[in-house]
């Protein structure tokens, strides 16, 4: 490079001038000084030049010094004849001192340069880390990374695992074009969690505290690896931080939405039930008053009450469906004997079941099941209600339960024409009703049943059997807790 | 004796009207209140025999009202509450309420509950060691139970459970109350004990243990003994 060349030339010329100056300085003292001492002065000069001006000027100084020393101070003076071969040693030492010193100095300078460069790099990495700590989106983070790398002539692309919940769906960012093969290799690096290299690219997976988050792909530069490693680890931390920030924000939103839903359902429930409660109560009151007087209107009041009650059951099912389908069903599961739930359902529906021969077939020693009793009672009530609604007055109803392997099987059957469909499975979908059904209803009772049973990890089926229809559901049995014995 | 005084705390005018008519039919004097504060004032004003309380009040939580009332009164409390709020009912019962009715309810149910609570309140003093229901006789003093002439053998815990039911006849008892009375405190999480013992007791006492007539289950809340 011309700049360096001319600098070396200038320095060499200055070195030669220094030699001449030294010679002129030492010349008047020639008669008092031993030649060896003068040689020392020249040696010092070589050393200083090597230290300050570098290798070429030092070598030049060594040559010039020996020449001047030989000509001016070694007898016979003003001639280049080497009378005494011993001065060759002086020359060799000077040359050696010059070379060694300049070499050491150069090395020192290089090291200093390197130290400064790495300090600069550290500072920039620190700045990168700081900036990544402040970014709010993955796009911003990738922009910042790409800027950092392109400042170092390292074109790069970043592939980030965008599949929340582990699906390895990559979103690609950055300015580097990736062939399908490169994509595959990036995927391999991601899956193995190990750095891969091709002729053209580095594939460096980066991880956060929990798992691999993505892959940094950069053009292959042999020496860039440590820097890329550092950048990759910063990218891992940043992407993970953004991921968790997003998760936190989303769950906060979900909690708020859930709260809102619960509030709306609660007030809807209150507003719908309150008028029904007074309607049922007032009609019942009226019915009681008029029935004593044996007036026809008393019967009307009774019908109003019954219709309001039927309406209330529909509203309950609709609200339950809304509650069960919106968000997560929270089960209050406890170890329960199923006979309690059966007994309580039969008692709740005592009015509806009056005049129906009800057969209950429950072994006395059924194991406990882990259920939300309130919800399973709802299932039984819905099934019993359906059994009544879809059969003629006086037709029998049968409720049975037995343990079969790991499941408690419960069936509610009626005597009648059975389901009007060939495949009754569809009846469990909301708002599906049997064709030609005359009985009132919204077609939501069975859907509620299915939602509740599925939430318990069970299953539910509907089928026709000779002489009627059956709905069966199974609940997983599990292992009931131990019970301390008591002396009889 | 004067007609018993019944305070009704319910914010919905129509429901209140229906309850007021029922109270009048039962031969009692009805005092209506639309808010919790009015209700408390009405109870404090004059001797009252029964409080009928809606849990969802505009001005205060019904459970808080019960707690406050229980500081100075042992007056029977009947709660009116919507279905799907079993937790609230249990909380209210544990706070000191005596019984509950799930909305919507009919006249017959309301009258029956009122009658039980008014009778219990009036007859506490005449406790006898002998208690009879259906064809069963329970001798609380001698720890024996008989059906007609045959003795029914009960374990100690079974007897203690039956005795607790008998002495709280007609009243809803939460699982927690029953566990505390029979097993003593410190049995949280072992409510299945209670269910298993109730099942055994039913098998020994009830004619049809699956459709019991005396030891009734209030799903999600507790049990009720009906003589």
Q: Are A65 and A83 in the same domain? A: yes
> What's the rounded Cα separation, in Å, for the pair A92 and A181?
62
Please tell me the predicted confidence (pLDDT) of residue A1: 44
> What's the rounded Cα separation, in Å, for the pair A24 and A17?
10
Answer with the one of A87, A117, A147 that is the final residue of a domain: A117
Contacts of A329 in chain B (CB under 8 A): none
Domain that holds residue A381: 329-476
Q: How many CB atoms lie within 10 A of CB A109?
A: 11
Nearest chain A Cα to B196, which residue?
A: A337
pTM of the predicted model, to two decimals?
0.67
Q: Where are the alpha helices (DSSP H) in A160-224?
A: 180-192
When CB atoms are compared, the residue of B17, B191, B219 closest to A374 is: B219
> CA of A378, closest CA in chain B: separation in Å?
10
Please tell me the predicted confidence (pLDDT) of residue A183: 80
Please tell me the predicted confidence (pLDDT) of residue A133: 87
Identify any residues that bridge with A196 across adjacent strands, giving them in sequence order.
A203
> What's the rounded Cα separation, in Å, for the pair A430 and B155?
49
When CB atoms are compared, the residue of B21, B82, B217 closest to A270 is: B82
Q: Where are the alpha helices (DSSP H) in A293-349?
A: 296-325, 338-348
Which parts of chain A have pLDDT scores under 70?
A: 1-4, 77, 79-86, 162-170, 327-328, 421-423, 431-442, 484-488
**Is the CB of A277 less than 8 angstroms away from the CB of B104?**
yes
Identify any residues that bridge with B33 across adjacent strands, giving them in sequence order.
B9
Q: What is the mean pLDDT of chain A?
A: 83
CATH number at residue B87: 3.40.50.2300
Answer with the one of A309, A324, A339 that is the final residue of a domain: A324
Residues in contact with A28: Cβ distance below 8 Å, sequence separation at least 6, in sequence order? none
- In Å, the largest CA–CA distance within chain A is 161
Per-residue pLDDT of chain B (227 residues; tens, 9 = 90+): 578 999 999 999 999 999 999 999 889 999 999 999 999 999 999 999 999 999 888 888 889 999 999 999 889 999 998 766 788 889 999 999 999 998 888 888 899 999 888 887 665 545 678 888 888 888 888 888 998 888 889 898 899 999 999 888 888 999 889 998 888 887 777 888 899 899 999 999 998 888 899 999 998 889 999 88
Site from A340, A363, A397, A410 to mutate, B interface, most B CB atoms within 10 angstroms? A340
CATH number at residue B186: 1.10.10.10
Q: Are A271 and A235 in the same domain? A: no
**Is the CB of A368 less than 8 angstroms away from the CB of B15?**
no
Chain B positions contacting chain A at CB under 8 Å are: 12, 14-15, 17-19, 21-22, 25, 56, 82-84, 86, 103-108, 110, 153, 155-157, 190-193, 195-196, 198-199, 203, 209-212, 216-220
Q: Are B92 and B145 in the same domain? A: no
Identify any residues that bridge with B30 across adjacent strands, giving them in sequence order.
B6
DSSP state of A424: G
Answer with the one of B69, B92, B122 that is the final residue of a domain: B122
* B158 to A203, A301, B120, B137, B152: CA distances (angstroms): 73, 46, 24, 15, 11
> What's the rounded Cα separation, in Å, for the pair B150 and A446?
47
Residues in contact with B1: Cβ distance below 8 Å, sequence separation at least 6, in sequence order? none
Residues in contact with B190: Cβ distance below 8 Å, sequence separation at least 6, in sequence order? A481, B179, B183
Residue A432 lies in a domain: yes
Q: Are the beta carbons of A162 and A142 closer than 8 angstroms? A: no
A153: burial class by Cβ within 10 Å (0-12, 13-18, 19+)? exposed
Answer with the one of A212, A246, A280 that is the final residue of a domain: A246
Nearest chain A Cα to B23, which residue?
A: A285
Packed helices B156-167 and B191-205: angle between N→C axes, nearest 10 degrees:
80
> What's the rounded Cα separation, in Å, for the pair A42 and B162?
121
When CB atoms are compared, the residue of A281, A347, A377 closest to B104 is: A281
Packed helices A55-68 and A35-53: angle between N→C axes, nearest 10 degrees:
160
Residues in contact with A137: Cβ distance below 8 Å, sequence separation at least 6, in sequence order? A242
- Which token pair is B24? 């009048």
Nearest chain B Cα to A341, which residue?
A: B219
Domain that holds residue B149: 130-225
């Amino acid at each position: 490079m011309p700049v360096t060349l001319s600098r070396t030339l200038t320095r060499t010329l200055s070195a030669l001038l220094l030699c001449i100056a030294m010679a002129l300085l030492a010349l008047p003292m020639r008669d008092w000084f031993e030649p060896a001492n003068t040689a020392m002065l020249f040696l010092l000069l070589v050393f200083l030049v090597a230290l300050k001006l570098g290798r070429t000027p030092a070598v030049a100084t060594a040559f010039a010094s020996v020449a001047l020393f030989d000509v001016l101070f070694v007898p016979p003076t003003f001639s280049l004849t080497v009378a005494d071969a011993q001065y060759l040693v002086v020359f060799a030492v000077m040359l050696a001192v010059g070379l060694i010193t300049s070499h050491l100095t150069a090395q020192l300078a290089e090291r200093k340069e390197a130290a400064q460069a790495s300090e600069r790099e550290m500072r920039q990495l620190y700045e990168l880390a700081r900036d990544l700590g402040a970014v709010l989106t993955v796009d911003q983070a990738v922009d910042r990374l790409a800027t950092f790398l392109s400042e170092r002539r390292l074109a790069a692309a970043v592939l980030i695992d965008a599949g929340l919940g582990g699906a390895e769906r990559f979103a690609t960012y950055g300015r580097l074009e990736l062939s399908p093969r490169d994509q595959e290799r990036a995927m391999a690096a991601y899956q193995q969690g190990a750095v891969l290299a091709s002729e053209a690219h580095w594939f460096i997976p980066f991880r956060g505290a929990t798992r691999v988050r993505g892959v940094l792909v950069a053009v292959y530069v042999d020496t860039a690896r440590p820097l890329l490693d550092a950048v990759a680890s910063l990218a891992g931390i940043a992407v993970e931080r953004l991921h968790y920030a997003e998760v936190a924000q989303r769950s906060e939103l979900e909690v708020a939405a859930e709260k809102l839903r619960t509030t709306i359902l609660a007030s809807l429930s209150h507003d719908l039930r309150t008028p029904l409660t007074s309607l049922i109560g007032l009609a019942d009151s009226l019915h009681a008053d008029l029935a004593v007087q044996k007036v026809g209107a008393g019967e009307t009041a009774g019908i109003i009450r019954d219709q309001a009650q039927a309406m209330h059951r529909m509203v309950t099912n609709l609200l339950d469906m809304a509650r069960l389908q919106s968000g997560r069903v929270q089960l209050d599961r406890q170890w329960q004997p199923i006979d309690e739930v059966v007994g309580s359902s039969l008692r709740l529906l005592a009015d509806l079941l009056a005049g129906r021969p009800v057969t209950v077939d429950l072994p006395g020693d059924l194991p406990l099941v882990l259920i939300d009793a309130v919800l399973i009672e709802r299932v039984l009530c819905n099934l019993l209600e359906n059994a009544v609604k879809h059969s003629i007055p006086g037709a029998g109803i049968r409720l049975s339960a037995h343990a079969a392997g790991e499941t408690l099987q419960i069936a509610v059957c009626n005597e009648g024409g059975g389901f009007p469909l060939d495949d009754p499975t569809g009846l469990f979908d909301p708002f599906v009703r049997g064709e030609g059904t005359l009985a009132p209803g919204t077609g939501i009772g069975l859907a509620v049943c299915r939602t509740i049973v599925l939430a318990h990890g069970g299953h539910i089926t509907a089928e026709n059997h000779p002489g009627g229809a059956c709905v069966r559901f199974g609940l997983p049995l599990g292992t009931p807790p131990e019970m301390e014995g008591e002396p009889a | 004796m004067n007609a018993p005084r019944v305070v009704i705390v319910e914010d919905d005018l129509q429901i209140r009207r229906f309850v007021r008519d029922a109270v009048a039919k039962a031969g009692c004097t009805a005092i209506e209140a639309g808010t919790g504060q009015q209700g408390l004032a009405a109870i404090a004003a004059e001797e009252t025999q029964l409080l009928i309380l809606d849990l969802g009040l505009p001005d205060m939580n019904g459970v808080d009202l019960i707690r406050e009332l229980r500081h100075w009164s042992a007056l029977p409390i009947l709660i009116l509450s919507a279905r799907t709020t079993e937790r609230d009912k249990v909380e209210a019962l544990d706070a000191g309420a005596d019984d509950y009715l799930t909305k919507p309810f009919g006249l017959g149910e309301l009258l029956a509950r009122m009658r039980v609570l008014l009778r219990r309140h009036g007859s506490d003093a005449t406790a006898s060691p002998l208690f009879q229901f259906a064809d069963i006789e329970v001798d609380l003093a001698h720890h024996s139970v008989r059906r007609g002439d045959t003795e029914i053998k009960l374990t100690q815990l079974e007897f203690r459970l039956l005795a607790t039911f008998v002495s709280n006849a007609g009243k809803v008892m939460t699982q927690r109350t029953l566990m505390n009375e029979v097993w003593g405190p410190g049995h949280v999480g072992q409510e299945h004990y209670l269910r298993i013992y109730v099942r055994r007791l039913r098998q020994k006492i009830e004619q049809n243990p699956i459709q019991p007539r005396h030891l009734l289950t209030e799903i999600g809340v507790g049990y009720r003994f009906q003589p």
